[in-house]
Copies of this chain bind each other. A is one copy, B any other.
Amino acid sequence: MTGPRSVNVGVLGATGTVGQRFIALLAVHPYFIVHALGASPRSAGKPYAETVRWKQTDPIPNPVQGLVVQTCEPKYFKDCAVIFSGLDADVASDIEAAFRAADLAVFSNAKSYRRDPHVPLIVPLVNTAHLSIIPQQRALHSPPLKKGFIVTNANCSTTAVVIPLAALERAFGPIESCIITTMQAISGAGYPGVPSLDIFDNIVPYISGEEEKMEWETLKILGGVAEADDGTKEFDMHSKTPLRISASCNRVPVIEGHTETVSIRFSRRPPPSPQQVREALQAYSPDALAAGCPSAPRHAIFVHEEPDRPQPRLDRNYQLGAGVSVGRVRQCRVLDIKFVVLANNVNIGAATSSIINAEMAIVKGIVTA
């Protein structure tokens, strides 16, 4: 399957941690072209290379170095068919609304609209079907939007766990309960983020709002879209078969890659065996791959056989950070099955998710390039 020849994109929050990762990933993208960059007024008017504190291990891509940064106003992004937002939540709410109102297609990494009943919350290896709500979102505006909308992707720690959960629900039917402990990398907190004095030789067993996000977002993502008699669509929050999630979130001294221990109980009795679970995870192939999205991983879930994997330092760059790694699938003495999952929080946990979501929107004709 082939994509379009080239699609201009804009990046909001271009100097931040997620914005930098957008730019690094887009530099090698087959058709997305970074056309406009938005950041705070402090950076606006300067060439990107002069205002960013670049923290990636590869140098700033050549074509972006001299691009002049703009403030985050829609007028500078008119020629962009896709807007990627790496904005902080405190400013994302207003700016993303303004971009949508200007009929621009926004793919956001911020939390601002994740709970909006008309905004899909999409982990691209799980629920791109939720894009079907976009026409309804557009119609709510007056006058209705033709091209504009907002799509959000999930919190990085949610993303890691919903991918294997989705694979298991597809194979074995509903999951009933799930207990998760996260060990989250410092890059998840942005820059400057976590002070070194707080996290060297230390664990912080708390990340503000994170557990609530995991416990709520998972329901929206794994749930379906219900259609009322009048055709109104609604996210069903997995309500047909209630799912209880309990998360304990920890910050750990790791630079990149969130590791999570997961215990689950299936509705189905008897539950699948560890070997059946391994096979189902390994076999999981998301729609985004079938649809030919170039940033989708060839393999969504890598299942390790060695007892001591996955590990963030060794596995976070697997498939450019677009897939997740699962290991230690075994029985749980309290629930049914337990395992470890690792996801690159800055790639599939943030920028890569937005990019695949945009690719999928193009495939589905929701964005026309």
Contact = CB atoms under 8 A, between A and B. Distances in A.
A183 B183 contact: yes
A17 B78 CA distance: 48
Contact of A192 (B56, B177, B197): B197
A186 B135 CA distance: 52
A133 interface: no
Contact of A333 (B215, B308, B310): B215
Interface stretch (A86-94, A267-275, A277-285, A312-320): A312-320
Interface stretch (A69-77, A110-118, A199-207, A231-239): A199-207
Interface in A280-332: 307-314, 316-318, 327-328, 332
A147 interface: no
Interface stretch (A155-163, A220-228, A250-258): A250-258
Contacts of A43: none
A198 B201 contact: no
Contacts of A253: 196, 200-201, 252-254
A201 B201 contact: yes
A18 interface: no
A181 B265 CA distance: 17
A204 B246 CA distance: 23
A187 interface: yes
Contacts of A332: 179, 246
Contact of A205 (B56, B186, B193, B311): B311
A248 B338 contact: yes
A178 B130 CA distance: 36
A333 B245 contact: yes
Given A246-B263, A246-B334, A196 B200 contact: yes
Contacts of A317: 57-58
A205 B263 contact: no
Contacts of A195: 191-196
A33 interface: no
Given A194-B195, A194-B196, A203 B183 contact: yes
B333 A183 contact: no
A187 B313 CA distance: 14
A335 to B, nearest CB: 7
Nearest to A211: B330
Contacts of A246: 263, 332-335, 338
Interface of A: 17, 55-59, 177-179, 181, 183, 186-187, 191-206, 208, 215, 244-246, 248, 250, 252-255, 259, 261, 263, 265, 307-314, 316-318, 327-328, 332-335, 338, 340
Given A203-B252, A205-B309, 9 more contacts: A179-B332, A179-B335, A193-B197, A201-B201, A202-B314, A205-B310, A245-B334, A248-B263, A248-B340
Closest 8 CB pairs of A and B: A192-B195, A181-B181, A248-B261, A202-B313, A206-B308, A196-B196, A246-B333, A177-B334
17 contacts: A56-B314, A57-B316, A59-B318, A181-B248, A191-B197, A192-B198, A196-B196, A200-B313, A202-B312, A204-B311, A205-B328, A244-B333, A245-B333, A245-B334, A250-B259, A253-B254, A265-B334
